[in-house]
Amino acid sequence: AQSVTQPDIHITVSEGASLELRCNYSYGATPYLFWYVQSPGQGLQLLLKYFSGDTLVQGIKGFEAEFKRSQSSFNLRKPSVHWSDAAEYFCAVDPRTGGTASKLTFGTGTRLQVTL
């Protein structure tokens, strides 16, 4: 079955430490891949996306993600976390099943806590 998996429900890192959030997908072909962030009480904001080309994608707020086809992964990274990065992070995919309508399937999210 097609799915998006974020294996880490909750991660705690110290401010200034590096961060990696995992995302794996199970689709027949390479989907479009997205990372969104949700601050408490807010809607979702796009961090970055991948649909073709360079497998290392740069996003906003100093985040980057690397698409690895062999591992069906699209992990999100940040070299040095800031306290303001505390939020919930969602990986999402569009399966490219045809048509022009964007249809996203979301992972269950990873909640990031940052300690000072």
Partner 1 sequence: NAGVTQTPKFRVLKTGQSMTLLCAQDMNHEYMYWYRQDPGMGLRLIHYSVGEGTTAKGEVPDGYNVSRLKKQNFLLGLESAAPSQTSVYFCASTTDRGPQETQYFGPGTRLLVL
The alpha carbon of residue 54 and the mean position of all alpha carbons in its chain are separated, in whole angstroms, by: 16
Do the beta carbons of residue 76 and residue 20 sit within 8 Å?
yes
Q: Output 26 or 80, the one with its CB closest to partner 1.
A: 26
The reply on whether position 101 binds partner 1 by CB under 8 A is yes
**Per-residue contact track with partner 1, 25 to 54, x per CB under 8 A?**
-------x-x-x----xxxxxx--x-x---
Cα distances from 63 to residues 29, 94, 96, in angstroms, run 25, 20, 25
The reply on whether position 104 binds partner 1 by CB under 8 A is yes
What's the DSSP call for residue 32?
Answer: E
Which stretches of the chain bind partner 1, using CB under 8 A?
4, 9, 32, 34, 36, 41-46, 49, 51, 90, 92, 94, 96, 100-109
